[in-house]
Chain A
Amino acid sequence: SQKIEQNSEALNIQEGKTATLTCNYTNYSPAYLQWYRQDPGRGPVFLLLIRENEKEKRKERLKVTFDTTLKQSLFHITASQPADSATYLCALEGGGFKTIFGAGTRLFVKA
Chain B
Amino acid sequence: DTGVSQDPRHKITKRGQNVTFRCDPISEHNRLYWYRQTLGQGPEFLTYFQNEAQLEKSRLLSDRFSAERPKGSFSTLEIQRTEQGDSAMYLCASVSLAGLNNEQFFGPGTRLTVL
How many angstroms from the CA of A41 to the CA of B6 in the assembled complex?
Answer: 13
| Contact among B50, B103, B108 with A43 in the assembled complex (CB-CB below 8 Å) | B108
Q: A97-B56, A104-B41 known; 13 other A-B pairs, CB under 8 Å? A: A4-B42, A41-B109, A42-B109, A43-B91, A44-B43, A44-B104, A44-B106, A45-B2, A101-B43, A101-B45, A102-B42, A103-B40, A103-B42
Residues 2-54 of A at the B interface (beta carbon under 8 Å): 4, 32, 34, 36, 41-46, 49
Q: Give the interface residue-count category, chain B.
A: 20 to 34
Tell me the smallest distance from the CB of A68 to a CB of chain B, in Å: 18
Please report the number of residue pairs spanning A and B whose Cβ atoms sit closer than 8 angstroms: 61
Asked whether A49 lies within 8 Å of B41 as measured between CB atoms, the reply is: no
When the two chains form their complex, are residues A96 and B101 in contact, meaning their CB atoms are under 8 A apart?
no
Contacts of B106 in A (CB 8 A): 43-45
Q: Does B31 interact with chain A (Cβ within 8 Å)? A: yes
Q: How many residues of A contact B (CB 8 A)?
A: 24
Kindly state the separation between the CA atoms of A44 and B43 in the bound complex, as whole angstroms. Answer: 9
Name the residue on A nearest B92 (C-beta).
Answer: A43
Partner pick for A97 among B4, B48, B91, CB 8 A cutoff: B48
Given known contacts A43-B93, A103-B40, A98 and B103 CB-to-CB distance under 8 angstroms: no
* Residues on A facing B (Cβ under 8 Å): 4, 32, 34, 36, 41-46, 49, 89, 91, 93-94, 96-104
19 contacts between A and B (CB under 8 A): A34-B101, A42-B108, A43-B93, A43-B107, A43-B108, A44-B43, A46-B103, A46-B105, A49-B102, A49-B103, A89-B42, A96-B56, A98-B56, A101-B35, A101-B43, A101-B45, A103-B40, A103-B41, A103-B42
**B98 within 8 A of partner (CB):** no
Tell me the smallest distance from the CB of A38 to a CB of chain B, in Å: 9
